[in-house]
Amino acid sequence: MSALPYFFEPTIQQSSTHFELSEVTSKHCIQVLRMRAGESLHLTDGIGNLYTASIVEPDKKKTVVKIELVVHTPAPTKNVCIAIGLLKNTSRFEWFLEKATEMGVTKIVPLICERSERSNLKEERMRGVLVAALIQSKQTWLPILTEPLSVAAFIKKHPAAQGLIAHCEDGNKTALNEVPNSNDCSILIGPEGDFTPSEIEAALAANYLPVSLGNTRLRTETAGMVAAALLVFKN
């Protein structure tokens, strides 16, 4: 990947020959990077397209670029969905969102669990975290971030070929790194305080497989990152 400046522009179209950058991107290009006419940059729409463009009309609010090349990256063949309990500490949840995006998780579902200490989410701020991580890791597919759901609602609305649940209760569990590979997988990660027995029972009744992430008790955001790494990079 080249060192061209990299920006997220969700409204750009594959058919575009010219495009007016958002005010935020324009300001960064012209006032921060001091870019001038003729200089090149990369844009992505978050749905697989990478645009190579050159500046034709520099402006700190409405820079116009010419599209020189469009390269499409197919959607990931492996769909990994992490459904994770909302955290009281927002910065820790944002850290998880950042790392999940960097690793290539395709969908993130915040869970409102019976033991959750938070039930709301600043969606615009959280999306900003995803976008920043997308730009930093120079990817072209932005993860889907859904509205917060209960465990029961998640199981109903987001069926997967392989459903997994990581919880801290005693019982037979399969180590996550020993679970057979699947191209369509969802895993439930509990909040601080873990899932309640009724939530665990609901997942098991829906044929979710109980899994272990190791021999130590992990923070929610750490468990989410470990699960993401093991599932995304499993061959």
How far apart are alpha carbons 58 and 36 in whole angstroms? 6
* Residues 51, 92 within the same domain: no
Q: Which of 30, 53, 72 is the last residue of a domain?
A: 72
Q: Which domain holds residue 47?
A: 6-72
**Based on the domain organization, do 20 and 125 belong to the same domain?**
no
182 within 8 A of 161, measured Cβ to Cβ: yes
Pairing relation of β-strands 64-72 and 49-57?
antiparallel
pLDDT in the model for residue 3: 85
Distance CA 21, CA 42 (A): 12
Are residues 162 and 192 both part of a single domain? Answer: yes
C-alpha–C-alpha distance, residues 142 and 17, integer Å: 23
Among 31, 56, 72, identify where a domain stops.
72
Q: Which pLDDT tens digit goes with each residue over 173-193?
A: 999 999 999 999 999 999 988
Distance CA(78)–CA(107), nearest Å, equals: 11
Task: Say which DSSP state 22 is in.
Answer: P
Q: Indicate if 85 and 143 belong to the same structural domain.
A: yes
Give me the CATH number covering residue 188: 3.40.1280.10
My answer on whether 83 and 181 are in the same domain is: yes
Q: What is the mean pLDDT of residues 159-170?
A: 91
- Is residue 1 in some structural domain? no
For residue 2, name the pLDDT band (cuts at 50, 70, 90).
Answer: low
Strand partners, 165: 188, 210
For 118-154, how does the pLDDT look when each residue is reduced to its tens digit (9 = 90+)?
888 898 999 999 999 999 999 999 999 999 999 999 9
Residue 225 inside a domain? The answer is yes
For residues 187 and 87, state if they share a domain.
Answer: yes
Tokens coding 21: 């950058």
Q: In this structure, are 68 and 83 located in the same domain? A: no
The residues near 141 (Cβ < 8 Å, ≥ 6 apart) are 46, 47, 48, 73, 75, 76, 104, 106
User: Which token pair is 174?
Assistant: 């399969």
Q: Is the pLDDT at 1 greater than 50, yes or no?
A: no
Give the global pTM. 0.91
- Does residue 36 belong to any structural domain of this protein? yes
Please report, as a single letter, which amino acid is at residue 70.
Answer: V
Domain count, the chain: 2
Percentage of residues in the chain with pLDDT exceeding 90? 86
Long-range contacts of 202-206 (CB under 8 A, 24+ apart): 202/151, 202/152, 202/155, 203/151, 203/155, 203/163, 203/165, 204/165, 206/155, 206/163
Same domain, 138 and 175: yes
